[in-house]
Structure 1
Amino acid sequence: MEKWNQTSNDFILLGLFPQNQTGRLLLCFIILIFFLASVGNMAMIHLIRVDSRLHMPMYFLLSQLSLMDLMYISTTVPRMAFNFLSGQKTISFLGCGVQSFFFVTLACSEGLLLASMAYDRYVAICHPLHYPIRMSNRMCVKMIIGSWTLGSINSLAHTVYILHIPYCRSRAIDHFYCDVPAMLSLACMDTWFYEYMVFVSTTLFLLLPFLGITASYGRVLFAVYHMRSKEGRKKAFTTCSTHLTVVIFYYAPFIYTYLRPKNLRSPAEDKILAVFYTILTPMLNPIIYSLRNKEVLGAMTRVFGIFSS
């Protein structure tokens, strides 16, 4: 591991891939995923904005999810690609703080937003008569603002702390972005209290929403099973299974990574798991929500002129 130059405050990101032909091929694959995720999420945002038939709480929340995913993948992949292609692994002290702030903000905000989307489906299917009241436009805006605000406040606290602890060892972060746990291993002070705060934040912003979403969809699937309309039952089941796919793919590796004890973690495993929730999920979300949703496919036909057959 590279030693820290005492005259520099820069960090070193060791990256995800080795500097060889295999690494270049894998990077090209990641760049392709980044392109697909960017195009897919921008198309979803534009589609929901211009098609009046999608001006409903469910799709308003979905547009915010696409915005978060677009920002999410842009926080890590461009810097990783630049460092790999240029051969310069350094990232400035301020740049690391900015990257960490946006990453934690988006991670926590998306976790809360997915919980809001689960609540939306729960009310729509289990309490349809109360849906216009419980999921009004005003309530939808409150959910979105609340997700962004709570995520930002939590992220600011973590970022300020992580940038103020003393680093007296190597500044080489064994990751492809400025990940808080990976930075903690470089500190020259006892960080047990802060590690406990990371555990608390992960529980509040990821584990509890995940348990709430699971319970919510369990109740929804029970209600779907007793629906009389076969078409309504099929549509509701498709929507719920789509949402559950996204939820599990996002929450599971995230929770497993951040709730494991420090002595059971390994940098290599953390980086592989991080690929799921930082790179793959932002690409899969627009694909899953579009190809398994007839209303979105219909909007694509009207706006982009595709899937007309």
Structure 2
Amino acid sequence: MGFFERLKEGLSKTKKGFVEKVESIFSGRQVDEQTLEELEETLILSDVGGNNAAEIVGHLKEKADRGEMREASSVKDFLKKEMVSMLGRPQNVVVFGEKPFVILAIGVNGVGKTTTIGKLASRFREQGYSVILAAGDTFRAAAIEQLEIWAGRSGVQLVKHQSGSDPSAVVFDAIEAAKARGIDVVIIDTAGRLHTKSPLMEELKKVKRVCGKAMAGAPHEILLVVDATNGQNALRQAQMFNEAIGVTGIALTKLDGTAKGGIVFAIKKELNIPVKLIGVGEGIEDLQDFVPEDFVRALFE
């Protein structure tokens, strides 16, 4: 099964909660105040976000007032175009500049951060890049072990210290090692104790500063891993991390297990942070670049 087919399958719960409801709203009915209200409610319940919902419905009303919207099929075509333009052009994780390219992966525990790092490392190896993983989540012994398993599986190097040691020291050593060995990419795992704990944010700020000391301009990518099943809570996490250390891109995991796939629209609208990677399953090949057009097409097909 190709990735587009897997994406379609993965988005089936979101599709059920959104596209099928849209179809039933407009089935045999006109575009009027009542149906527009129902559409807005459906968009909000799909975690598309209140501002996005109001904007979409406003544009649809303008078209309807001009007599350009007659039946359900034209509403679906309109929604597709509107949603693609909302997400903008694809922006993916691209290795550039002098070596090593440093990616700082952040996010709360349980979102699939270490797994995402492992899959990303595998992908870079397949593309011909050499990779070092930095076990910066020294808070959880299991996180270091899990990263070690992924390093072995992906055929990449690992820099780790003992459990409980200073994460910044691990990060510094990993970047120094990468420079000495001519490694292309460094991916840093970090602790993810709840985002409401301010010491975690201070720790992440320190890790970011140490990256810059070890290599000017690093980290080149601050990738926030969020779990799509968390819906609006994922948006709040993104806000907090972005305010604390600045997020350059989002990896959205577990899209195959949720009806809240609309959260990609809310994140883009509210924070203007691009979703760069999406996960729709357990396999290494299930972590893919986020392509807005494919995402919307998979949702509606």
Give the TM-score taking structure 1 as reference length: 0.23
Normalized per residue, which structure has more helix?
Answer: 1
Give the TM-score taking structure 2 as reference length: 0.23
